[in-house]
Structure formats: structure tokens, C-alpha cells
Chains A and B, each alone.
Chain A
Amino acid sequence: MVGQNGIMLAVNIISSHFGILVSKVCECLLRKGSLTIQNIVRFTELTPQQVKHSVLVLIQHNCVQAFSFRSDEDDQGGVPKGTHYVVIFENILHRLRFAKFSSIVSEQLDKESEELLEGLLQHGRLTLEQIILRALSKRNEGDCAIQDVLREKISKLVSEHFVERCPPSEPSVRLQDGDNSTRKRGTKSASFVRTKTLEQKVITAAVSLKRFDFTMNTGADVISEANALRKPANVTVGEKRKVEALEMDDGTIDEKDILWRANFEEFICHLKQKACIASVRSRLDDEVGVTLNAVLDATRGPEKKVKVENSVPLSLDAIFEEVIKSEEGRCMTKERVDLALSQMGCHPTTIGTKASYSVDVKNIIEIARKEEVESLISKRYGKDACRMFKLLWKNGELMETDKALYFFPISDTAFVNKNEALKSLSNLGNDGYLQMEKPVSQGAQSQFLLWKVNKSSLGEHVFDEMCHAALNLRLRLAYELEQEHEILQLPKHKRIGAEGKRYERIRDVNILLESSLMKLDEALMLFHDY
């Protein structure tokens, strides 16, 4: 579920990247759920042309997916016929992470592949021809050999799942009760929960089997072909689909019609692995980090999913073999790898005569989330409040404030003054970090209060607050840059004296706010994407 602050952050991102009109349409879709063009026009009070163009921009940048409802009955129960549009919230937030995605490709492949990916990130979706032409425009050379090298690089990006084919332009989704958010809309947040489910359905329906299908067609010269007559622009949707269906008949892909885009899911997988390793490194030690990296590298199969709970069971020998592939792992012995696994709470399971190890990835993520929340609570409410929060998280059940009638008292276990305990717990409860219950006995409410950490609602609350904080960082940065607009425009030789100091200050402010936003974005992914 995405809260109000999540929506505001997404709207701010779209507004700064594509302007106010597109952000209006985006906000309308975020708040109302899936809508037809007519309904967007009605809610935004923009002209149909403005809405159409804004939706096209959002589709081009993979922030909106078109779909149609498929119903077994002829009567669609009041659902407007035609194309509906649903906003993909995650893809909007991914726009904050483009630099991270590029650096992954740079690390895993090379600088040229990174440049090719940057083209896709910048333009949203491109045909193979467009990708190659864009890359060639940055070079002075453009012969067939270079084009083949570029095709090979794109092929590698696709085989590594960094790039995928764009989903079908309008997949159909089976209509079920509650899907029609325009028909039965409750509160804003409730409508968003329904839309979210629909959003997932649309994404699933849009996944193509040919997602990573790339058969190279070497030798074609895109420059000469681009200069030749192009296909008429007014090809109907039906005709275009037929072309897509026939394109593989000759074993090669159509470079002008098939659109490609960055596969965000793959990048999130990589970032999740990095986050897990960073978490165990800081909590345990470097050798545990090396071992986990080896286990996760060995786990990565053809089906790469972000929400993996456990690594694939591997023998100690297989893990060790993977560990020694890295420079850091080469100085480790098998015994130390075994110890590192046990430090992660990973103990062998014996099936037959073979013992295998499977790392609990979900637990590593949960610990990382807990550390982030603990740090926040310690800073905002103090160490005693943090200790009580840790106790409640660890206990996982309801606990009493200070009495021990039926439950274990929090204040005694956490060594917090009983009066202070109630005050701190109430603050944490009011701010959404704890859940409070007043037990009812024999029809009357009891005097004592019970507290617990509700991990799922806490995660949503923290994510929403982080979205608020991210929005604040972006707004402050924009404000600071606007205030010093003139100073930033000054040529280098004029940046002296007071102007020079102001220039240095705004440069430092920019660095600090940007780096804080990047760090916060990692925490956003921790709570929303992993």
C-alpha cells in the first residue's frame, strides 16, 4: 500500500521531469486508480489533447501501462469499455535510481553498455534502430562493424536481463469484483489498495514470454536504412500486433518496430544483493559478507525474482568454490566459510547423506529494516524508547507497560523509569511505531495498556514517512538551487570573495542533499522493493 506521502513524492518526481501537465494526469491516476482517457479529462479538467499527450509521455517512460478489461459476460457491469490506464508507482520511484542502475551495468559489463542503457533510461523505450543511431551519433564513426559491436552489446544487456522488450501495448485483464475503482471508490487510501492489486495484475498480464528474446541480425546498416523510406506512421494497432507476431518467423528481430526498455526488476535484484551484503558486513564482518555474496551469486538462476526468501540450498563445497572466485575470498578457509554461514544463522540441512546450506534472505532484510527503524527511534525518541522498541520487536507479542498481571512488563525489562516508559510508549504509539491495545475484561476496559510492534503496518508507516522525508529533501534542494540561481550561473573567474563563498556553500549543500537522498533511496527500496 502506498500512502499520501508516497503519492506526493511520485507527483513531485514526475513534475520535475515532465512538467505540471503530466504530473496532474499522474496524480489523478495515482489517487483515483485506473481510468479511461475520458475520465482523466473529467477529473483533471484538462483538454483531451493535453491528457492524451501526457499519457503518451507517461507510457513512453514506462510509468503508465494501458490495458483493457476482459469479462466472461457481455455486460461489463458498468465498467467503461475501451482502454484503461494504470500508473506504475514503483517505476516512478525508480527514476531516482537511474545513476545506481547505470553503475551496475558499468561494473558488470562495460562503459559502452552503460551508455546504451543510459539511452533507454533517458528515453524510456526505444527500438533497436534508435538505440544504435543514438550510440552512433555520439561517435564519429558509424560503419557496419561498429554497429555489429553495438548489437552484440545490446544482446548481452538483454541476455543479462538488464534490458527487456516492452510489454504488449494493451494487455487484457480479467475483470473481478473490486477491480473497477471508478465504480466503487471508498476512501482515497482504500481505493489505492484496490488499484495496487489491479496494478500488479496488469503488470503480470503485460509480461511477455519473449521478454528476453533477442536474435541478432548482423550486417544491417541502420544509417542507410534510416535514410530510406520509413514505414507509414499511420499503421493501425491491429496491424502493428500482426507485425509483432510475425517478426520472429525469419529468426531475426525487427529493429524498427520492437521497443526495448530497461528491466528495473533485474536492477532491483542486484541492489537487493548489495544491500544484504552491506547489512551483514556492518553487523557481522567482512568474511560473512564475502560468503553471502558467493551464496547469492551461485543462487542467481535464469528466473531472477526480487522477493526471494531463501537462497538455493548448496553444499559447503559448492559455496567454498564460489567464495574462492573472489579476491577477498581467496584467503578464506573452508572452516571460516562454515563459521561465516553459522554467524548468519545458516545451519546445514541433511538430505540423504549430503548437507546443504540455505541462507534466510528474508531475515537479513528484516534485520536491516529493524536497524533502520531503531536508528530513527533512537534519534527521535531517545535511547530508552529505542530499548523498549527493540524489546517489543524481539518479543513479537503484546506486552504491558509497567504491570505484570498477565504479561511481562516492558519498563522492568528495558530498565526504564515506569513513568517515562508510559510517556515514551504513548509517543511511539501516537506516531505509528507501536500498536496499543486496551484489553476488555467482563465488558469493562482494563486499566493496563498492552503494546506490540506490528511489523507489516510499521513497514508501511516507515516507508510513507521516508517518502515524506525524500520529498522534503527534493523540495529543499530545489529551493536552495533556486535561491542561488544567479551564483550558479557565474563564470569561474567571477566566483571570488562573497560570491565565491556562496558558490562553495551551494555546491556543498547540493552534495549533502543529493547524497542524503541517495542514501534515503536505499532505505526506500529496503522497505518497499525487497
Chain B
Amino acid sequence: MGRQPNISYQKRKRTDSELTDTERKLYDVVRSKEDMGIWTGEMKKETRLQDPEFTKILDSLVKLKKIKKFVNIKYNKRKYFIAAEFEPSKELSGGVWYTEEGKLDTDLIHGLKVLCKKLIVRENVATSESLTEFINKSGVVNVKCSKEQITEILRCLVLDNEIVEVKSSEIGVFGKISGGTPSYRCSNKEGDPKVGAMASFPCGACLRINECTPNGVISPMTCVYYTKWLDF
């Protein structure tokens, strides 16, 4: 029997059951780690596969969309993989405030902080619910923010002395907010805290103060920071 004519060869998408034994072995290792994922060094150790075969199988699983790469914010130079059906845990990815590259999304955080502060100044007093609703409706931010995210931003503003957290008394400016609800208003004296006594001269900023002694290598008489400070 000769070859059947006119039947063209077509690449068929492989299914889960059609993984090769080595592919299956590697996939099972990755999948067993669930949302914690695994890095390539650990994979090699557990499967006892060596390059170049390991790389070939890994690429194949990625192409098959069985596994995906992600950045572990703690070890951002290592290549981490996770089974496609899982999402990396918040602990590894950094959560909503981290970009896919594993970096803190400072632009988004700063933008939301400025926006929340402006809205509180405008409204005199606001709750996390009212701020979340306004921010999501206005479309100023191109991602949808949860109430929890906005609460985190507000907590950070409180730590920065930009706003203060108060409980609604239902009187005056709190009229529309039910009693006892955590609310936020601008602080009387906002911005950077006043410079303390210790922070206003070199010893306050010095990281080597523990090594400084009257007759030591580092001493107040020979201190370069003092010399610079007293250079009128």
C-alpha cells in the first residue's frame, strides 16, 4: 500500500492527555506547587532533567499554555513558573500594588493618594466607600479600584499626616455619614513633621553614631559632617 494522496499534514493541538512522559513529569511538578509556583533550579532538581532537554520541555509547556512565567518579587532574577490554572500568591506577586514586572506601582499609588487627598479637601470629610464610588465612576484611574484598595491608600495618607481618621458623629459635616463610620478629613498641620531636636544636627542623621567615640577613628572633633555643618 502506497501513501494516500491529497491528505495534507496538519498540526493538531495536543491535549492534556497527549503530553509526553517527560512533559507530564515536569507539568506535574509545577502543578503540585499550586499558587506558590516553582523556579527552574528547583524544577531541574525535582525532575532530574538536564539542559538542553529541560529547556525544550519547558518551552513546549509554555507554548501549550500549560504553565506560565511570573516574577517573584523576592527573587526577581530567578525564572518562576506556575500552572496556567493558578495565579501566583499575593506573597510572591506583591498583590494589586505590584506591576507584572514585580515592581511596586508607585505611579498608581501616588496618583490615588493625590486624588483621595483632593477629594477629601473638596468634601471636607469622606468615607472609603464614597471615595471608591467616585473614583470608579469618574474613570480618572484606568483600573477599577476596590474599597479595600482605597482604604489602604487612606491608611497610608494617615501615616503621612496628610489626613486624619475620625469616627462620624452625624453632626455638621458628618450629617450624611451614619454614626461611628470611620471617616477621613484633612489634618490641621499637614505635611512633613517638624524637625526634631536630634535631627537638626549631624548626629541625628549619622548612621555611624554607634562607632563614634571621643578619641576614636570617628569622633566629634574630626567628624566630617560636623566640619561641613560648621563651615560658614
Q: Which residues of A contact B (CB under 8 A)?
A: 8, 282-285, 343, 371-376, 378-380, 387, 390-391, 394, 402-404, 412-419, 431, 462, 465-466, 468-469, 471-473, 475-476, 479-480, 504-505, 508-509, 512-513, 516, 519-520, 522-523
How many residue pairs bridge A and B at CB < 8 Å? Answer: 130
Among B152, B192, B229, the residue within 8 A (CB) of A412 is: B152
| A465, A472, A522, most chain B CB atoms within 10 A | A472
Q: Is the CB of A431 within 8 A of B226?
A: no
Chain A, residue nearest B201 (CB): A516
Q: Is the CB of A480 within 8 A of B188?
A: no
Known A-B contacts A380-B207, A509-B232, A516-B201; the reply to A387 vs B188 at CB < 8 A is no
* Chain A residues closer than 8 Å to B109, beta-carbon distance: 415
3 closest residue pairs by CB, A with B? A375-B196, A469-B203, A472-B220
Other A-B contacts than A394-B159, A402-B91, 13 sampled, CB-CB below 8 A, are A371-B196, A376-B196, A378-B193, A387-B156, A387-B159, A403-B91, A414-B156, A418-B73, A462-B198, A469-B201, A469-B209, A476-B230, A513-B230
Among A374, A380, A509, A522, the residue within 8 A (CB) of B193 is: A374
Question: Distance (Å) between the CB of A291 and the closest chain B CB?
Answer: 14
- Chain B 197-232 per-residue mask, 1 if CB under 8 angstroms from chain A, else 0: 111110111110110101000011101001001101
A316 to B185, CA, bound (A): 26
Chain A, residue nearest B169 (CB): A342
Question: Distance (Å) between the CB of B67 and the closest chain A CB?
Answer: 24
* Chain B residues closer than 8 Å to A404, beta-carbon distance: 90-91
Q: Is the CB of B209 within 8 A of A465?
A: yes
Chain A, residue nearest B202 (CB): A472
Q: Is the CB of B94 within 8 A of A418?
A: yes
Among B94, B194, B229, the residue within 8 A (CB) of A371 is: B194
B179 sits at the interface (CB 8 A):
no
Question: Distance (Å) between the CB of A116 and the closest chain B CB?
Answer: 31
Question: Distance (Å) between the CB of B115 and the closest chain A CB?
Answer: 15
Known A-B contacts A415-B104, A417-B104; the reply to A472 vs B156 at CB < 8 A is no
Q: Is the CB of B200 within 8 A of A516?
A: yes
B147 sits at the interface (CB 8 A):
no
* Chain B residues closer than 8 Å to A516, beta-carbon distance: 197, 200-201
Q: Is the CB of B155 within 8 A of A284?
A: no
Among A378, A431, A471, the residue within 8 A (CB) of B199 is: A378
Known A-B contacts A391-B159, A473-B201, A516-B201; the reply to A372 vs B196 at CB < 8 A is yes
* Chain B residues closer than 8 Å to A513, beta-carbon distance: 230
B48 sits at the interface (CB 8 A):
no
A473 to B214, CA, bound (A): 11
* Chain A residues closer than 8 Å to B94, beta-carbon distance: 418
The majority secondary structure among interface residues of chain B is loop
A376 to B203, CA, bound (A): 10
Can you list 20 contacts pairing A with B, beta carbon distance less than 8 Å?
Answer: A8-B214, A343-B188, A371-B193, A373-B196, A375-B194, A375-B196, A375-B198, A376-B196, A379-B199, A402-B91, A415-B109, A417-B103, A418-B94, A431-B210, A468-B203, A469-B198, A471-B214, A473-B220, A476-B226, A519-B200
Question: Distance (Å) between the CB of A519 and the closest chain B CB?
Answer: 4
| A403, A476, A508, most chain B CB atoms within 10 A | A476
Q: Is the CB of B189 within 8 A of A283?
A: yes
Known A-B contacts A469-B204, A475-B220, A508-B232; the reply to A419 vs B198 at CB < 8 A is no
* Chain A residues closer than 8 Å to B189, beta-carbon distance: 282-285
Among A282, A285, A403, A472, the residue within 8 A (CB) of B203 is: A472
Q: Is the CB of A375 within 8 A of B201?
A: no
* Chain A residues closer than 8 Å to B44, beta-carbon distance: none
Question: Distance (Å) between the CB of A422 and the closest chain B CB?
Answer: 9
Chain B, residue nearest A477 (CB): B220
Known A-B contacts A283-B189, A387-B160, A468-B212; the reply to A372 vs B197 at CB < 8 A is yes
Question: Distance (Å) between the CB of A129 and the closest chain B CB?
Answer: 41
* Chain A residues closer than 8 Å to B210, beta-carbon distance: 431
* Chain A residues closer than 8 Å to B214, beta-carbon distance: 8, 471, 475
A387 to B161, CA, bound (A): 10
A516 to B226, CA, bound (A): 12
Question: Distance (Å) between the CB of B217 and the closest chain A CB?
Answer: 15
Q: Is the CB of A375 within 8 A of B104?
A: no
Among B104, B156, B200, B205, the residue within 8 A (CB) of A413 is: B156
Chain B, residue nearest A283 (CB): B189
A126 to B214, CA, bound (A): 36
Q: Is the CB of B73 within 8 A of A419?
A: yes
Q: Is the CB of B159 within 8 A of A379?
A: no
Chain A, residue nearest B103 (CB): A417
A361 to B204, CA, bound (A): 27
A415 to B157, CA, bound (A): 11
Q: Is the CB of B196 within 8 A of A523?
A: yes
- Chain B 58-89 per-residue mask, 1 if CB under 8 angstroms from chain A, else 0: 00000000000000011000000000000000
A285 to B206, CA, bound (A): 32
Among A415, A512, A522, the residue within 8 A (CB) of B97 is: A415
